[in-house]
Amino acid sequence: MAFALFPSSLPLLQTRASSLALVARPMTISSSLSSPTNAPALKKWVADFHSKSLNFALSGALALALSLTGVGSVEAKVGVNKPELLPKEFSPVIDVAGFLSAGQQEKRLTQEIADLERDTGFKLRILAQNYPDTPGLAIRDFWQVDDRTIVFVADPTFGNILNFNVGASVDLDIPRSFWSRLAGKYGNMFYWKEKGEDASIEAAVMAISNCLREPVGPSNCSEVK
């Protein structure tokens, strides 16, 4: 499985948090990996890197410097794996932080996610947490995360509440800039502190749903709706 991590205003994926000091160091791929005869090696390198990135993100403590042209250095806290925090039965929405109002709001999000998966084939999964109170890596198997999965982690730990882990197939259809624009609009501290964490999460879900339903092309997801 291969995954791409977003956004760029970044919280769990935060580059501006005062508590973190990150210096982006562009990563380079050696000529032996980039040569045509070593394509399998390059593919393995990419898969290994994305797999490690997924582990960091799902642990709930990722600091990532990311640009459209390359990936910067990664620093992360020790990973968390607490399967005991998972619900007894499957749910695409896990709210261990209590951000969502019980009942109606969670039901609305669950229905929207089900409709989206039926209509597009993409799987959206939501984890609301306050690190380190998180099931962390345990959600990967619980949700059977794959290349068509978007893991949306709502965690205000580093300021911006919106964090996304995007499967490789999703990354092919959705511009990378969409995720950073989405985080900038609905995930910034001013928005979720004024409107509430639940409003930020719900607005992001609807924006993702609108984006994934647009025809793939040069202008798809150009607006965060």
**Lowest mean pLDDT, pick from 25-29, 97-101, 119-123, 161-165:** 25-29
Q: Give the integer Cα–Cα distance in Å for 51 and 176.
A: 18
In a domain, 30, yes or no: no
* Domain limits for position 106: 3-25+39-213
In a domain, 223, yes or no: no
In a domain, 33, yes or no: no
Confidence of residue 41 (pLDDT cuts 50, 70, 90): low
In a domain, 225, yes or no: no
Give yes or no for a contact between 103 and 155, defined as CB atoms under 8 angstroms apart. no
Residue 83 sits in a domain of what CATH number?
A: 3.10.310.50
Q: For 8-13, what is the mean pLDDT? A: 36
Number of domains in the chain: 1
pLDDT at 97: 95
Output 187 or 58, whichever has higher pLDDT: 187
Q: Give the integer Cα–Cα distance in Å for 167 and 146.
A: 6
Dump the DSSP string for 32-68: HHHSGGGHHHHHHHHHHHHHHHHHHHHHT-EEEEEET
In a domain, 222, yes or no: no
In a domain, 100, yes or no: yes
